[in-house]
Structures are given as structure tokens and as C-alpha cells.
Structure 1
Amino acid sequence: MTTEAAAGTVDLTVMYAAHDAFRRDLERLGDAAADGTAFTPQVRAGWDNFRHQLHIHHTAEDSDLWPRVERRVAGRPRDVALLAEMEAEHALLDPQLTAVDAALKDRSAELPALVRTLASTLDDHLAHEEESALPLIQEVLTPADWGAFTGRIRKTQGVRGAALFVPWIVDGAPPADRARFLGALPPPVRVLNKLFWETGYRRRGLWGA
């Protein structure tokens, strides 16, 4: 996870950490599909949380982030086209998510193949975003712009959502990535996570952990 931000630029630490968590969860689902444990309540709970987090993430990007960037790149056709690609890639993921969800509910033998397809599509999208859209964000948005976007996500999540989101992000993260992510959060959030949220998260047993 490369997230270092210079003073006065947008800090994308949380964005990269979320991308890493999405990739991690689909790897876990793929492993569960391969070893026959995908239909357990714990894996299902992990999948439901993954879908919830991805929905919040992509909805906020489509409704707030990409329009905000588009206003800054008006008159730059290549950049406007890139933002349209981001939204199109989100739409491409929707039927694949639905297919995996149905396969889990139906205990379908097609689940492993469907998960591989979803993981490939999502990874391609995240890589495209990291290589092209995130540098554009750092070029044209201010920290205040970024704060307005992340504030929208925080409002959507609420305190209860944050109590799940924060420990979910750091679940299984390498120590350096964990420290970097937590260091980007306000001190009270770090305290709540240490004292209460991670314990509650572990009790959920997502993915059979």
C-alpha cells in the first residue's frame, strides 16, 4: 500500500486501505469456495459485510467523488472519459456481485468460477483507479474537497458503521499498513477501536476467523 502524501495534498491512505480490504475479502471467499466452507454462516457474514462496504464505497464515489472531480477537469476530454470509465466499471461489477450472492444462497457448484470472475473484474477496476483516477484526484482536488467526500462516507456509516469499518480494514493487515491506516484516523477513533471495536469485530467471526 503506497499512501504517502505531501503536505497540502490529498491523503489517500484510507482509500488504498479499503482497496486492500476488498481484495483480501475476495481472496478469502475464493479460498472458502475452493475448500468447501463457503456456505457456512461465518463466510456468509463476511460476504454480506464485503458487499455492504463496497456498496457504500462505490455509491459515495459515483454520487460525490467523480462529479466533484469532473467539475475540476471540465474541458479535459481524456480526464472526463476516465471518470466515465470509473462509473462504467462499477456498473460492470453489479451483476457479478448478484451472481455470486445467488450462488452462495443456492449452494451452487459454479461459485468458485463466479468468485474468480468477480475478483478479476474488481482487481482490474481497483488497479485502474489506483493507476489513473487517484493521481488525478491528487492533482485537482484540495484536502477540503477530499474531506467533504470522506465526510459523506462517515455520515453514511455513522458511529455503528465505523465500529465495524475500522477493525474490518485492519483485519489481517501487515503491521506497517495497519499502523499507517490507524495513524490517519483521529485519536479518539483509534482509542475506541483499541478498547472496544476490535473486540466486537472479533466476536462476529467473519470468514470463520
Structure 2
Amino acid sequence: MSDRLDMTVMYATHNKLRRELTHIARATARFDSDPRYILRVGADWEMFRRALAAHQSSEDDALWPPLRQALAGNPFDLARLEAREAEHAALISLVGAINGALTAPGVELHLFGELVEALLSGLIGHLAHEEDTVFPLVQSALSADLWGHFRHVHAVRVGPYAPQLLPWLLDGADDRTVSFVLASFPAPARQAYEHRWRRSSRTTV
């Protein structure tokens, strides 16, 4: 049986976040370079950070509240949702600590590496928990209108960075995912992606 709500964009975002942070963690774990320099001069960390912030803030503002209301009276499912919200807070704290460590004097390299590894472990676990426990709740409890509102909010949050984030997100995605994600954006954004953003991203990202 197919899902009632299409979650292609969510899975595409999750998969890209996993791949990108895994790449970042490997780059910063190299013994022949300063990981802080890699994150400061490369675009990967900034793109990852922006994408994660847009994704999490959209869930915090437009997904968790209506889902919590839909689950009222079911304490077990509400507890599962609250656990995912707590994971959000932990990830935000780790991202902030890494950003601070990029410029703070005297931060030892091993501590910086521990922060990146903690973020990777936390993110992979959180995304798996969302897919295993929250996505089924969304499918069973959330209306199509509320799901559509969340998708709209997510697209708006990405909007200011769309010229960079959209090619980044769709890099390596299959044709169905590319088509579906693009369909969630207005026609001018789709045209800009096809004719300008995707081309420029090959040299700037």
C-alpha cells in the first residue's frame, strides 16, 4: 500500500543531510590537515548548516505543533514526539558548539573532532528515529492540508538560499525525487534551477 502523504522531499532532505555530514566528518578526521580550516574555507559546512536549520525550524514551527494536537490523548505517541524534539535541541547545541570552535582560540583539535563525531552520530540516530517513529504518525494522524502547510513552510525557509541549496539537495538524487522536489517550488524557481542555479553550482559548490 502506498503512503497517503508523499514524503519524497523529507526523505531527500534526510538522505542529503546524512551524506553531507558523513563527508564532512571524514574530511575533518584527516590527520594531515586542520579540520577547522576545512570547515571555514569550504562551502560544505555552511550548506549543511543552512539546510539543517531550515529543515529543523520548519518541523518545529509547522509539523510538531499540529501533530501534537492530532495525537492529543495518546500519551505514548506524544512521548515519542517529545523525544524527537529533544533530539532537535541537542543537534542545535552541537552545531552551535562547532561554529564557536571554528574561531575560538585554544580549542584542541581532538575536542573539535569529538564535536563533529557527536553531531554525526546524533544526526544519523535522529533521522532514523524520525523515519521509524514520526513518519508513520504523520501518515496516520495528519491531514493533507496540514501536511501541505508544512511543505509550504519548508519551501519558504529554504527560499532565501534556494540558488545554492536546491542544486546541493538534488545532487545525486534520482529523477523522480528531482521532479517532485522541484514541483514544490514556484515556476520561476524551477526555471532558475534549470537554467542558472544548477549550472553555477558546478563551479561554486
Residue in 2 that maps onto 1:73: 71
| Pairing partner for 2:21 from 14, 26, 31 | 26
- Asked if 1:123 is matched to 2:124, the reply is yes
Instruction: Please state how far the C-alpha of 1:108 moved relative to its aligned partner.
Output: 4.1
With 97-106 and 59-68 compared, the bigger mean Cα shift is at: 97-106
Percent of aligned positions with the same letter in both sequences? 34
- Counterpart CA distance in 2 for 1:5 and 1:143 is 15
Unaligned runs of 5+ in 1: none
Confirm or deny: 8 A CA contact 1:10 1:141 kept in the other structure: no
Residue in 2 that maps onto 1:16: 11
Residue in 2 that maps onto 1:202: 202
Instruction: Please state how far the C-alpha of 1:42 moved relative to its aligned partner.
Output: 4.1
Aligned length: 194
Q: Which amino acid aligns with 1:183?
A: S
Q: Which amino acid aligns with 1:130?
A: E
Give matches, 1:1-209, under 5 Å: 5-6=2-3, 9-35=4-30, 36=33, 38=35, 39-40=37-38, 41-43=40-42, 45-106=43-104, 108-110=108-110, 111-158=112-159, 160-171=160-171, 173=172, 177-184=173-180, 185-186=182-183, 188=187, 189-205=189-205
Instruction: Please state how far the C-alpha of 1:194 moved relative to its aligned partner.
Output: 2.4
> Aligned-residue CA RMSD in angstroms?
2.2
Confirm or deny: 8 A CA contact 1:182 1:190 kept in the other structure: no
Confirm or deny: 8 A CA contact 2:164 2:201 kept in the other structure: yes
- Counterpart CA distance in 1 for 2:161 and 2:46 is 14
Confirm or deny: 8 A CA contact 1:5 1:12 kept in the other structure: no
Instruction: Please state how far the C-alpha of 1:145 moved relative to its aligned partner.
Output: 1.4
- Counterpart CA distance in 2 for 1:99 and 1:5 is 41
Shift in alpha-carbon separation, 1:132–1:37, aligned structure 2, 3 A: same
- Counterpart CA distance in 2 for 1:37 and 1:181 is 36
Instruction: Please state how far the C-alpha of 1:112 moved relative to its aligned partner.
Output: 2.3
Confirm or deny: 8 A CA contact 1:11 1:143 kept in the other structure: no
Regions of 4+ moved over 6 Å: none
Report the TM-score, using the length of structure 2 for normalisation.
0.85
